[in-house]
Structures are given as structure tokens and as C-alpha cells.
Structure 1
Amino acid sequence: MTKINWTGFSKKSYDERLEFLSKHNLLSPDHQDTLEENVLLTIDTANQMVENVIGTFSLPFTIVPDVMVNDKVYKVPFVTEEPSVVAAATFASKIIKRSGGFKTKVHNRLMIGQVALYDVDDVNTASSAILHHKDEILELANAAHPSIVKRGGGARDLTVEIKEEFLILYLTVDTQEAMGANMVNTMLEAIKPRLEELADAPSLMAILSNYATESLVTAQCCIDTRFLSRNSQEAHHLAEKMVLASRLAQVDPYRAATHNKGIFNGIDALVLATGNDWRAIEAGSHAYASRQGQYHGLATWSYNENAKTLCGELTLPMPIATKGGSIGLNPTVQIAHDLLGNPSARELAQVIVAIGLAQNFAALKALTSTGIQSGHMKLQAKSLLLLAGAKESEIPQLLPQMLTTKRLDSQTAQELLAKFREDS
């Protein structure tokens, strides 16, 4: 692919950005037309997706243009309303690309479902009986969803654990390109009667787990400290502080919660853009952050002073999908997959975790240097001016004045705008 120069993309007008995408053939002609015509989710399609529809709700659909993962450069779509998230991800990805980009690994891609049995008279005997019929139970599960078996997926294994008064069977399933909730739940319902028979006990529930510990993905990057600051001593000091900030998130759950929220600024934006369930991804990841008995920061950083590199790592459960659900229904979601090059589920999962690490890098760098409010105040001032009625063309003249005022509020914005128009 021809190298694309994204410099100044954020400064272009909306129409110029669309023209840029068209010029570089970054979308299929049909999706380019859909974007230019601003074809949104129709009421008819929305009615197919959820109940009680009374309209549709829009959020900004944007792009992080230059993300290198495993030596491949991606144009990453975001859906987010939060100021500075796109700028932070773009800034971090640009620096990390200069240092070789992200390296990622999919450890496995299996979903886990569980059937919980209770009132079991002899849990050890019941457990042995279930495991003795393991092959039979797996065959029953696969017979309930033969189409996934034909595509190379299906039930792979089962284990049994005794927890308090429950005997719990865990079924692992290869769901291929789908997230697989309905698939796994169908299999669990199919094997439930046989489990009840073998255990001579009732089942409480049969349901997919969002704690997807068999779908782990790791992203890593190492950044040359010269990209942190032109001053080598300042870069060294900043790298040390970022490692300390990473350590703080490991020992203090109050910091860990915000540390991880920053990671999900980018992850949620990409998961939402690609039509996936960000609630499931967050639930599984927060559970993973607590796997050692205390809530920890998910991304960690280390500093090699001799090599002058700051290295980050992030591992998350990432049971993402490229097929199924509403992915094929929402036109903007289809554009998002097109922008990414229509990746497989494994490939998309790796890009998502890399984006989370990029977002964490940007946040830690800001927190340990200029402070997080530096960028936020500029965006807040711009929002206040726009809410006061300022036109986009008036912002460049008004924004510097707004940032030097003692009060950053709506009244100040209105007063500045009125005076500006009076003097013009």
C-alpha cells in the first residue's frame, strides 16, 4: 500500500476529509457514497435490532489514521463523544509507530459457557460421572449447532469445578468470527438435561460467561525515549515517572480505576465503531483486572535505561466479532470494517488491545508532564464558545481570549462572543 501522509488531516474541513478518503481509495465506492451522503441507521433497521424504538442516536464517527500493529498500518475508526480521546490516540500511535509500532499476540480464541448445578447429593460422584461422559456431552453440544462445526469451530473441551454449594460445568467453544453468545447458550441448553441426569441434580442456569479468559490478547510496544522529549535528561526523568505511574495503578485501586478507564476511552470507541458489545468487553476486562484478589491497572510499563526504551504491555480478554449480531445491519459499522481492511476477528482483537495501550501511553505522558487538564481545558473552552453560539470561523480568534480568562464558564463565553461581534 502506498504510504499516506496524514499530516494536517485534523485541520481539514469535513468535506476536505471526505475528499482525502476518496483520493486515496480508503473505502469501497459504495461505502464512500454512504459516508458522503451521511446515511445513518434507518428506523426500519433499528427496529430489527432492539425493541421499543423511538428514534436513533448519533455520536461522532472519527478516525485515528496511522496505527502500526505487527508491521501493518491501520486506519482505526472511533465512535466517541469525549474530547481529546482521538487526539491522544493519534499522538500516541504516531510516536509508537516511529519506534516500530505495536507487537501483538492472540493467546487463544475460545468462549466459555457454564451450567451451574445445585442440590447435588454427592458432588464428587457427580463430577466424575460428567467427566466420564465428556465425549458424549461435547457431541451433544456440537449437534446443537452443526453450522459452526462445518466452519471449523465448535465445542472443544469441558471442565467441572466444585464451588461452595454449586457444581459448575465450563464448556469452551471455538466460535470462529462470531462473538458467539447465542451459539454457546444454545449448546449449553442442549447439554443441560444430560448434565442434570448425570448429576441427579437440578440446574440453576446455563449461560455464556463474559469473563473470556480463553480469549486473551497481548499488545506490547517499546518507545525510544528521544520521542518523549528532545532533552535527554527530561526524557529520562519522564520515563521514570511514567513507570512510577504504572506502578501506582498496581497498588492503589482508586488510581487503577482511572488508569483503566483511560485504556477504555480508545477500546470502547473502536469496539462501538465495529458493532461489538463494549459492555461485555468491559465486564470481562474489569474482572480480569481483579483476578489476583485486588483491582489492578491493566497496562504496565518498564524502563530500560541502558537501551533508552520505555516498554508497555497490556493483556486483555478480547472476544470480539466480525460477523453476527448487528454488524451486518448498521451502515456505519460496515464502513468501520472497510476502513480497517475487513480484518478477521483475531486481527481486529489485536488492533483493539493495541489501541488500549496507545491510549494509556498518552494519558500517562500527559499526567506526568503537562498534566491532564492542559489539553482538556482547550477543548472545554471551545465547547463553551460553541454552546454560546460562536461559529466555527470565530473560534480561532475567541479561543485564546477564553483560555486567559479567570472564569471558564458559559457566561464568560457569551460575554466574549458578544464583545467580539460588537468590535468586528
Structure 2
Amino acid sequence: MKSKIIEGFSKLNKEQKINWLNQQYGGGSGDLKNILEQYWNHNADLQKLHDEFTENTISNFYLPYGIAPNFLINDEIYALPMAIEESSVVAAASKSAKFWLDKGGFKTKLLGNTKLGHIHFIYKGEGSKLLQWFNTHLKEELIKQSKDLTKNMQMRGGGIVNIELIDKSKEIENYYQIKGSFNTQDSMGANFINSCLEQFSKTFKTEFQKSNIFNEEEKNSLQIIMSILSNYTPDCMARAEVSCKIKDLKDDSGMPPEEFAWKFKQAVEIAEVEPYRAATHNKGIMNGVDSVVIATGNDFRAVEACAHTFASHKGKYTSLTHCDIKNDQFRFWLDLPISLGIVGGLTKLHPLVIASLQILNNPSAEKLMQIVAVAGLAQNFAAIRSLITTGIQKGHMKMHLTNIINQLGATEKEKKEILNIFKEKTISHHLVAAELERLRKEQ
């Protein structure tokens, strides 16, 4: 066990890191080393760029990069770049795009673009006195003393939107927040928001200690715990929706449009009230969302955290999508809280991120939010459509069949025969393995 503990790992070069891993965890055979080195980029400059994205880099981890074409969004045709390893996601999105292409396509709008951050602090004095001082003095001072930080953002149309004092002392004794609202324009804004909050914190401490309103006991009671942005952005929201006459919901399964609409709405309502279903329902939405978020170099972990928090904001986990039927009109929509950027981070560094944004016609951050919402809605539509008609496994397992064949080490000839055999048959790993074994015995 002690031999696997290493000091100064970060100081080793890449080859030394790999050699150490190969000896300690790869059995020394060289197989692990070969795998790691195989995925280096042959372009030395590009590999150096990749190495510097994060720490202790030893190789690259690739995801399939696919395209879902024919998305009609606000009367403009898009092809969506999607980075994802899961079978059927790109195909399902493409199928949804095709379904809605002659029905007006997807309509989107921005519902808000405000992002949030907080100073979390403890104060043991009188809350009303703190609030009065905040409103008459501190708020203005916070804005004034952060002007150097906000100047460039203001020139781009962004900056500080509002600053509030929030009393949370009923939830944790003596706990308060200073809540900052920000518009960060085309950047995701994490560094900007955190820099502003840290400046707020310094100003707050200084001004509080200078004030003659608070006594020494109150001044000594102030403890700033932390200053940090929030990845929950309920006021930074994009809506994507589709709608058509019920009679136009013709499905290739042969299900009558009226039945299709009714079952579809029921499926969404189940996800609205049943958390067990909502979790899987929303996971499908995030298949579409995350794949475009990753392809455009954005933070999919922040996007996931925000979406699932919003799904729980009424006290119970529920569906992110909704469906309505009125006057023979079918409407299906997604309100997605999401914070994205097209500047900063990897957006000007990673070649495939640059390519993705180019494919999307170099959108603004606000337009990208709406495109990503469309990807989530399309994915959810495809999933529910399958569930209420043919079932999810038929299409999913067809896409998964190639993975099973590859896992079993089939030759190209065997692949063709297996694909033909399972054109109409139920697919499972066991059945595919049995058929492959039969073919090999016959040969």
C-alpha cells in the first residue's frame, strides 16, 4: 500500500507520471501505458494546449462528437453539435427535429438573464438596524467601490443588476446574506461575479467597522463565512416550445393523433407528480442539454445542478417539461434555467468548441441558451413519443447493438450477419452472444 503513495506527483513530466501509473496500477506490462499514450494528440502544440486545460494531465478522454441536423428554430435551420457517448441520443434528437420541421419547428424566447451570488455571514445584532444601514449606506458603497471591476462589463451592457440584504436567521441562527444579481452578457461570468463578491465582502467589513451605528459587541459579532456565486439561476431562463393542431400529430406507429396527444399529456403529468418518473424524465432532457453544453465548452455540472435544483424548487422533484391541450391545439414546452457563455474558459481555445460555435452560427450566450433548451425539449419529445408508442427499448437497443457486437469482438462479416439477424428480433447481450457463437460454429 505504501508503495502507491507518491510525493511530488505534479512535478513529474507526463511520461514519468504514466510510467509510475503503469508500474503501480498497470502491473508493469505496458498495456496501461500504451492505452494512455495512444490517445495523445499527434499535433504537439495541440496536445500542449490540452495538457494545460487542467492538472496532472496524462492523456485525453474522447467523446463521440455527432451532429443532429434539420432543427428549425425561430424560422432558422440549425445543425446541433452533440458530444455524448450514449446510444440513440443524437438519433432521437434528429428524429424530433424532422417531426417538427413541417409543423413550424421550435420557438424559443429568453425569460431572463440574471445570475446570482451571495456573501454568507453571521451577525448577532439587531436585524432591522442592519437592514436600515444597508439601504441608506452600504448598498451604494458596494456599487461605488466595485466600479473598477464592473467598468468593462458595463461597457458591454452588463454589470450589477441589484444588491439585497436577505435575513435567513429563521433558518440558521444569526445567518444573513448579501445577494448580488448580475448580468454577464456573453460570458458565463463566474470569475466576474466572484471578483465582485469578494470586493463587496471587503467593502462590507471596512464600512461596518467604520460605522457609528453599531456598538462594539455588534461589530465583533460580524463573521463573513464565504463569498461565492450560485449555480442556481432561476432568473436566467430560456423557454423552448413546440405546438400544432392535434390532427397533425401523425406518428409512424399508426396511433391516432387524438390518442397520441392524450397519452403524451398523461405521460408528462405523471412526471409532474411522481419523482421516480421525473428523475428519469429529466435525465432524458439533460441528455440533449448536456451534449450541446459539452460541445460548446460550457460547464455541464453547473447546468445539471441548476436544472435539478429548479425541478425541486416547489418542495417536490418534478418534470422540467409541461404539456397542454386546448382548443384542439397541442403544446409542449420546457423552461430551462441555464447559465452559458461564449467567451472565456475553453471557448476560444478548444478547436472543437470553436467549431461547434461556428456550426451554430456563432450565437450570443442568450441565443445559445435557447438552442440548448431546444435540444433538451427535442430529446424529451423523442423519449415520450417512444414510450407511449413502440416502447423505449426497440429503438435504443437497435442503436446499442453495434456496441454489443464490438464488445464481443465480431469481424466485419459477422457484424453484417448479426445486424441482419436482429433487424426484427428482440435484442439483448445474451441473445446476440448466442447468435454469434452459433455463426462461428457453423463457419
- Residues 224 and 63 (structure 1), Cα distance of their counterparts in 2 relative to 1, 3 Å cut: farther
Task: Find the partner of 1:325 among 317, 338, 345.
Answer: 345
Instruction: Indicate the residue corresponding to 1:388 in structure 2.
Output: 408
Unmatched 5+ stretches in structure 1: 1-36
Q: Residue deviations 1:79-137, cap 9 Å, x none?
A: 00000101110111111221101111112212111001103312221122122232221
CA 1:261/1:402 → structure 2, altered by over 3 Å: closer, same or farther? same
Q: Secondary structure at the match of 1:76?
A: strand
Q: 2 CA distance for matches of 1:43 and 1:338? A: 22
Secondary structure at 1:319's aligned position in 2? coil
- Whichever residue aligns with residue 196 of structure 1, its letter is K
2:435 matched to which residue of 1?
416
Give the drift of 1:237. Answer: 0.7
Hey, what does 1:11 align to over in structure 2?
A: none
**Quick check: 1:219–1:354 contact (8 Å CA) kept in 2?**
yes
Residues 1:39 and 1:340: Cα distance change in structure 2 (over 3 Å): farther
Mapped contact 2:163–2:178 kept (Cα < 8 A): yes
| Conserved 8 A contact 1:62-1:77 | yes
Contact 1:185-1:206 within 8 A present in 2 as well = yes
How many Å separate the matches in 2 of 1:230 and 1:151? 49
Residue aligning to 1:53: 57
- The equivalent residue for 2:300 is 278
Tell me how far apart the structure 2 counterparts of residues 416 and 232 of structure 1 sit (CA, whole Å): 32
Percent identical residues: 33
**What's the offset of the Cα at 1:194?**
2.2
Counterpart of 1:360, as a letter, is N
Q: Structure 1 residues 237 and 414 mapped into 2: Cα distance closer, same or farther (>3 Å)? A: closer
Pick from 82, 85, 90 the counterpart of residue 81 of structure 1. 85
In structure 1, the partner of 2:359 is 339
Q: Is 1:185 paired with 2:175? A: no
The aligned runs of 1:22-421 (5 Å cut-off) are: 42-133=46-137, 134-164=139-169, 165-198=174-207, 200=219, 201-225=222-246, 226-229=248-251, 234-304=256-326, 306-307=327-328, 309-391=329-411, 394-402=414-422, 408-409=428-429, 412-417=431-436, 419-420=438-439
Counterpart of 1:171 in 2: which secondary structure?
A: strand
CA distance in 2, matches of 1:149, 1:293: 36
State the alpha-carbon separation in 2 of the partners of residues 392 and 94 from structure 1: 31
Instruction: Check conservation: 1:185, 1:208, Cα contact below 8 A.
Output: yes
Whole-angstrom distance in 2 between the partners of 1:255 and 1:222:
24
Cα distance in structure 2, aligned partners of 1:40 and 1:139: 47
CA 1:233–1:334: 2 relative to 1, 3 Å: closer
1:4-29 CA-partner distances (Å, limit 9, x unpaired): xxxxxxxxxxxxxxxxxxxxxxxxxx
Distance 1:231 1:91, change over 3 A: closer
Change (3 A) 1:223 1:393: farther
Aligned-pair CA distance for 1:158: 0.8
CA distance 1:103–1:188, shift in 2 (3 Å): same
Asked whether the 8 Å contact 1:219–1:357 carries over to 2, the reply is: yes
Measure how far apart 1:229 and its partner are.
2.7
40 and 67 in structure 1: CA distance in 2 versus 1, 3 angstrom threshold? farther
TM-score, normalised with respect to structure 2 = 0.81
Structure 1 residue 389: Cα displacement: 2.2
The AA in structure 1 aligned to 2:190 is A
| Inter-CA distance 407–114: structure 2 relative to 1 (3 Å threshold) | closer
Structure of greater Rg: 2
Deviation of 1:213 after TM superposition, in Å, equals 1.7
When residues 315 and 119 of structure 1 are mapped into structure 2, their CA distance, relative to the original with a 3 A threshold, is same
Cα displacement (A) at 1:331: 0.8
Partner-residue secondary structure (3-state), 1:49: coil
User: Bigger shift: 354-363 or 396-405?
Assistant: 396-405
Which amino acid letter does the alignment assign opposite residue 373 of structure 1?
Answer: Q
> In 1, Cα distance between the equivalents of 2:289 and 2:436?
37
- Do the aligned partners of 1:112 and 1:173 also contact (CA within 8 Å) in 2? yes
Aligned to 2:12: none
How far off is 1:318 after superposition?
Answer: 1.5
When normalised by structure 1's length, the TM-score is 0.85
Quote how far apart the aligned CAs of 1:58 are: 0.4
Q: How many residues align?
A: 385
**Native 8 Å contact 1:96 1:102 kept in 2:** yes
- Say if 1:346 and 1:420 are closer, same or farther in 2 by CA, change over 3 A: same
> 1: distance between equivalents of 2:379 and 2:434?
36
Do the aligned residues in 2 keep the contact of 1:117 with 1:203 (CA within 8 Å)?
yes
* Aligned CA-pair RMSD: 2.4
Give 1:54 deviation, angstroms: 1.0
Q: In structure 2, what residue type is equivalent to 1:162?
A: D
Q: Describe the SS at the equivalent of 1:292.
A: coil
Equivalent in the alignment of 2:3: none
**Cα contact 1:67–1:76 (8 A) shared by 2:** yes
Tell whether the 8 Å contact from 2:398 to 2:427 is kept in structure 1 after alignment. no
**Preserved contact between residue 51 and residue 58 of structure 2 (Cα < 8 Å):** no
| Distance in structure 1 (CA, Å) of the matches to 2:241 and 2:135 | 38
Alpha-carbon deviation of 1:313? 1.2
Task: State the secondary structure of the residue aligned to 2:319.
Answer: coil
Mind listing any 5+ residue stretches in structure 2 that lack a counterpart?
Answer: 1-40, 209-218
Question: C-alpha displacement at 1:144, in angstroms?
Answer: 2.5
SS across alignment from 1:204: strand
Q: What amino acid is aligned across from residue 256 of structure 1 in structure 2?
A: A
Question: Shift of residue 255 of structure 1?
Answer: 0.7
Cα shift at 1:41: 9.3
